[in-house]
Structures are given as structure tokens and as C-alpha cells.
């Protein structure tokens, strides 16, 4: 399409640009769906969300700029925020370590070269896979109801009369912790894969030197497994911070009894979609981001003191 024959320089520049475009075009065509999604559904909303967190917005009127008022209220005048923080942290601190411990113990038992490995592995993994569904939360609510299976078994086995777990604020959160522990399958599979990377000759050498199983565990297994422990801990902690469905179903969307299962995400949901305080909820979302970012950064910074990569 070279029309202007006499003007060599602009033509060349045009051709060069067209060549560059031709070089880049296929890449951007393949990237287009992601790029559109990234700009419209991720980057744009992230910016808007930050802005909304400084406004009052009820979906009907226009957002009204209030400066840092939302954050100030969260920090100083919102008891529910602090309750939900306490509930969430308690949940994370209890659920994650227990879950990882079970996952590691079962993975080590499965790594003993026993038969039927694939069957056991499948059975232990199944609850993790089903766990996010409403049905499991419904099941849990019934297991731990006053006349539910758990109390039936307690009575049948020990003659104990259990509390009505899910409607007792002293116990409701623990039933959710137990639910989370029941789903130890996916970290278990990752532990199992990690255990199989440990060279067997290390154990052989250790037992020749007279090291018992406990010593082998603390001197070989655990140190060599720290990268996997680290990975599982970070992933599971972030997931635990974001837990929602079980608390929603078990408490019928209220976070009750007496806010004892008011997970942070549940509180955020209530503020946004029950009370239509979208600006306030955006501020809550950003606090969650900061907490998760802080936690992740902290994990990575401390990792160098306890995570061993073979080098």
C-alpha cells in the first residue's frame, strides 16, 4: 500500500510500524480474552474497589466520598469487625495446624510401601473434594445438632449427653474446625508426593548409624520436607482466611449463635449484600487483602530460617 513514493522516510517508518504490528498481532490476539478479562474484571475492579472503600455507596445513589471514615469506623467503632477477626483467627490458628499434622501423619503411614495405597489415598482425598459444597455443610449441621449423630454416638459409647454443638456459642466454631480437619486430603497428597522425593539411602545410612525412627523423622524427613510444609501452610492458611460456605450454612447466614461463627468473609457478605453498605464492605475487603499480603510476606521472610532447599 505504498502510495507516497517520494516521501521515503515516513513510508519506512510506516512499514516498520506495520511490521512491528504484524509481529505483535498474533500474540495479542491469543492474549485478547485474558487481557480483556484482566482489564475489565480484575485490574479495573481492583482500582474501583479501592476508591469505593473511601465512599458510602448503597447501590442506589451515587458513591459519596467520605475519606478514611470507613477505615476509622472499622478500627474504632465496629465491634462486629473485631468479633469476626477473632473468630477467623481462631479458626485459622486451630484448623490449619491440626489439618497439616493429620495430613503429614497419614501421608507418612501411606509412604510405608503398604498395599492398597491408591484406595486409601482416594478415600482420604474424597472429603476434600466434596467439602466446598452445601450438602457437606448441611450434613455437618446435622451431625452436630443436639440430637445428631455425634451425640448419639457419644451417648451410645460413653453414656455422655453432649451439648447441642452448632447452636451453642461455646462449641459452634469447633464443629467448623473439625470440618476443616476432616478435609485434610489435598495437603496429604502433596505431602505424600514430597515424601517420595526424599532419597531412601539417607534413611538407610541413618539406620546404619543407629538413628531410631524419631531421630530419622526430625533429622531427615522433616527438614527435607520443609518446602512442602511451607507451601501447604501458606495455601491452607490463605484458604482458611477465605472460608465462607460452611459458616454460612451452619449458621443459616447469620454467623450465629451470638456471632460465634461470624467468619470475616461472612461479615463482608452481610455488609455488602444484606445491608448494601458497598463502600464499607470494600474497605473490609481491602483489610483482608492487607492481612493476607502481610501474612504471605511474613511467611516468605521467615522462611529462610526454617525452610531448607537442597543446594
Partner 1 sequence: MTDAAHHAPVSVTAPPDNPGLPTPLWQRVLIHGVLIAASFVMLYPLLWMFASSLKPEHEIFSNPSIWPKSADFGAYVRGWFGLRYSFGTFFWNSAVIAVLAVIGNVLSCSLAAYAFTRLKFAGRDFWFAMMLGTLMMPHHVVLIPQYVLFLNIGWVDTILPLVVPKFLAVDAFFIFLMVQFFRGIPRELDEAAAMDGCGPWRIYWRIMLPLSLPVLATAAIFTFIWTWDDFFAPLIYLNDMGSYTAQLGLRAFVDSSGKSDWGALFAMSVLTLLPVFVVFLFFQRLLIDGIATTGMKR
User: Please, which of residues 203-242 interact with partner 1 by CB under 8 A?
Assistant: 203-204, 207, 231-232, 235, 238-239, 241-242
Interface pick for partner 1 out of 96, 100, 110, 172 (rule CB under 8 A):
110
Question: Minimum Å distance from CB 271 to partner 1?
Answer: 10
> Distance between the two ends of the chain, CA-based, in angstroms?
59
CB-based contacts of 65: which residues, under 8 Å, 6+ apart? 54, 55
Residue 271 corresponds to which cell in the numbers above?
Answer: 455488609
Residues 6+ apart with CB under 8 A from 92: 237, 240, 241
Report the distance separating Cα 119 and Cα 138, nearest Å: 27
Only one of the segments 10-18, 24-32, 65-73, 88-96 lies at the binding site for partner 1 (rule: CB under 8 A); that segment is: 24-32
Cβ–Cβ under 8 Å, residues 295 and 237: yes
Applying CB under 8 A, the site for partner 1 has a residue count of 110
> Interface with partner 1 includes 186 (CB under 8 A)?
yes
Among residues 104, 166, 173, 192, the one that binds partner 1 under rule CB under 8 A: 192
CB of 55 to partner 1, least distance (A): 11
Site residues for partner 1, window 271-310 (CB under 8 A)?
A: 272-273, 278, 281-282, 285-286, 288-289, 292-293, 296
Q: Which lies closer to partner 1 via its Cβ, residue 143 or residue 173? A: 143
For residues 34 to 63, the per-residue mask of contacts with partner 1, x marking binding by CB under 8 A and - elsewhere, is: xxxxx-xxxxxxx-xx--x------x----
Contact status: 134 vs partner 1 (CB under 8 A): yes
Interactions with partner 1, residue window 63-102 (CB under 8 A): none
In whole angstroms, what is the distance from residue 98 CA to residue 231 CA? Answer: 16
Among 126, 160, 205, 274, binds partner 1 (CB under 8 A): 126
- Residues near 58 by beta carbon (within 8 Å), at least 6 away in sequence: 276, 277, 278
Nearer to partner 1, 10 or 113 (CB): 113
Out of 8, 31, 68, 258, the only residue in the binding site for partner 1 (CB under 8 A) is: 31
The nearest distance, CB 247 to partner 1, in angstroms, is: 11
Contact 291, 116 (CB under 8 A): no
Binder to partner 1 among 70, 221, 265, 270 (CB under 8 A)?
265
Binding of partner 1 at residue 268 (CB under 8 A)? yes
Query: Which of the stretches 66-74, 80-88, 109-117, 255-263 binds partner 1 when contact is defined by CB under 8 A?
Result: 109-117
Q: Which is nearer to partner 1, 34 or 218 (CB)?
A: 34
Residue 1, classed as helix, strand or coil, is: coil
CA distances from 195 to 210, 227, 269 (A): 21, 11, 40
Cα gap 133→121, rounded to integer Å: 21
Please list every residue from 138 through 157 that binds partner 1, using CB under 8 A: 138-140, 142-143, 147-149, 152-153, 156
Q: Assign 308 to helix, strand or coil.
A: coil
The answer to whether 245 contacts partner 1 (rule: CB under 8 A) is yes
Which of 238, 99, 100, 250 shows the shortest CA–CA distance to 176? 250
Whether 150 contacts 165, CB under 8 Å: yes
Amino acid at each position: 500500500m505504498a502510495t507516497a513514493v517520494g516521501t521515503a522516510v515516513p513510508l519506512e517508518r510506516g512499514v516498520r510500524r506495520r511490521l512491528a504490528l504484524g509481529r505483535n498481532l498474533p500474540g495479542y490476539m491469543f492474549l485478547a480474552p485474558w487481557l480483556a478479562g484482566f482489564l475489565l474484571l480484575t485490574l479495573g475492579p481492583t482500582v474501583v474497589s479501592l476508591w469505593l472503600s473511601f465512599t458510602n455507596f448503597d447501590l442506589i445513589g451515587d458513591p459519596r466520598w467520605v475519606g478514611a471514615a470507613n477505615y476509622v469506623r472499622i478500627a474504632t467503632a465496629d465491634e462486629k469487625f473485631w468479633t469476626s477477626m477473632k473468630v477467623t483467627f481462631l479458626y485459622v490458628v486451630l484448623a490449619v495446624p491440626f489439618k497439616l499434622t493429620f495430613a503429614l501423619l497419614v501421608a507418612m503411614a501411606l509412604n510405608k510401601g503398604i498395599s492398597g495405597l491408591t484406595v486409601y489415598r482416594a478415600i482420604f482425598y474424597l472429603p476434600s473434594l466434596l467439602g466446598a459444597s452445601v450438602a457437606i455443610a448441611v450434613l455437618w449441621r446435622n451431625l452436630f445438632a443436639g440430637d445428631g449423630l455425634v451425640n448419639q454416638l457419644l451417648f451410645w459409647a460413653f453414656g455422655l449427653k453432649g451439648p447441642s454443638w452448632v447452636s451453642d456459642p461455646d462449641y459452634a466454631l469447633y464443629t467448623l474446625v473439625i470440618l476443616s480437619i476432616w478435609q485434610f486430603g489435598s495437603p496429604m497428597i502433596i505431602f505424600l508426593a514430597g515424601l517420595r522425593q526424599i532419597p531412601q539411602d539417607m534413611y538407610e545410612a541413618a539406620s546404619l548409624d543407629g538413628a531410631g525412627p524419631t531421630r530419622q523423622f526430625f533429622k531427615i524427613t522433616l527438614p527435607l520436607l520443609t518446602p512442602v510444609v511451607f507451601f501447604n501452610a501458606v495455601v491452607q492458611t490463605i484458604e482458611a482466611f477465605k472460608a465462607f460456605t460452611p459458616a454460612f450454612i451452619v449458621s443459616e447466614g447469620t454467623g450465629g449463635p451470638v456471632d460465634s461463627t461470624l467468619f470475616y468473609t461472612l461479615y463482608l457478605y452481610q455488609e455488602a449484600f444484606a445491608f448494601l453498605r458497598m463502600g464499607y464492605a470494600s474497605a473490609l475487603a481491602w483489610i483482608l487483602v492487607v492481612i493476607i499480603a502481610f501474612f504471605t510476606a511474613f511467611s516468605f521472610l521467615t522462611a529462610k530460617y526454617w525452610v531448607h532447599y537442597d543446594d
